[in-house]
Structures are given as structure tokens and as C-alpha cells.
Amino acid sequence: MMLNEQESVRHRRRGAALEAVLLDAAWAELTEHGYDAFTFDAVAVRADTSRAVLYRRWATKQELVLAAIGHGAARVPLEIPDTGSVRGDMLALLRYANATRVSTAIILSLHLGGYFTDTGSSLDDLRTVLRGDFPDAVRTVMDRGVQRGELDPGRLSDRIERLPFDLYRYELMMTAKPVPEDVLQEIVDTVFLPLVSPLQGGTA
């Protein structure tokens, strides 16, 4: 492809397609070099564009980093599992997280100290960005479990519904490695299901 043809292809990128390219580049820069070395110039070079294109969308480094984190955490589309049981569905969601969130955990634990200093924020402030579609998926799993009689709706609360993934994220952040299968099963079987299963006449 000749140079003018390459420039034509580059300039035809618009809207969501262009934004995805920009965020892919930002995520790659953040992954490889960390927050402190992260610059608009480096992202623009990687995305084969100009700083002006980035600044039209994100006014500051911190805004672009936050968008890149959300983009990186959602790179693999989430499909809500339907295994026929709450146990199976929750384990499937945790295994999905294991397959897609480790690199995000490494970035958060090793590369974002400067971001938290600059913004005065904490890891908890990124909760919404990091959770992505998981709350909707968990809500669907819970609703199906109630309909099947596996779960007691009176024992469900927002905090309890978040518990499996809060425990998962703790394990992931402490080790920056995929959480072992036996730990995933312990989270579901030993901690979560006893809290939400009917007290009498039901099993999960």
C-alpha cells in the first residue's frame, strides 16, 4: 500500500472505530510502560494519529487513563452463562473473570500509583469502571436462582451479591495471578451459597 493510501485509510477512521483504536493504543501504553511514563505523544504515535485527535476526546492524561482502564477491562465481551444452577453460573462468571482480568489487576497493583496520587482517588473509586457488565450478569443469575427456588430473596442484598467478586478481586490483587479453581469453588460453596440459600427445604 502506498503512503497516500495509508493516510487515506487512517483518516477514514471515525466514531466508535477510531475511539477503539485510540483506547487500544492507550491500554497498550499503560500496560507496557505504566502511568508515570504514559504520554499523549506515545499514545498518538502508537495509534498513528495526532495529539489533537486525543485531546478532542480526553482533556487530561488522567481522563485518558481512566477510559483506557475501562476499555481494557471490557475487551472480551461478557456472555451471561446459563448452566441451570446458581453455583454453575457463578463459577462460570468467576472463571470468565480469571481469563480476562489478570492483566488489569497487574496494571492496577503495579502501574497506577501515580494516577492515585495525581487524582486523589483510590482503587475503590475505580469500582464502577472495573465491574463493567458484571453487576447485570450477577443480577440475572440471582433472579433466575430465585425463580428456581435455589435462593431466598430475603437473604439477598447488594453487598451480598457483590461478595463473590469482591473476594475474587482481593485474591487477584494480592497475587496478580489467576485465582486457583479451588479458591473459586470455596468462594461460591463455602462463603456465598450458604448466605443466600433458603434456610429450609432448598439446596444450591
Beta carbons of 89 and 83 less than 8 angstroms apart? yes
Same domain (yes/no): 49, 138: no
Contacts (Cβ under 8 Å, ≥6 apart) of 147:
none
Say yes or no: 113 and 181 in one domain: yes
The answer to whether residue 201 is domain-embedded is: no
Same domain? 165 vs 108: yes
Pair 185, 91: CB distance under 8 Å: yes
Task: Please give the chain's pLDDT, 204 residues, in tens.
Answer: 444 444 444 455 567 889 999 999 999 998 888 889 999 999 999 999 999 999 999 999 999 998 998 887 776 677 889 999 999 999 999 998 888 877 777 676 667 778 878 888 777 777 666 665 677 889 999 999 999 999 999 999 999 998 998 899 888 878 878 999 999 999 999 999 999 999 764 444
Q: How many domains does the chain have?
A: 2
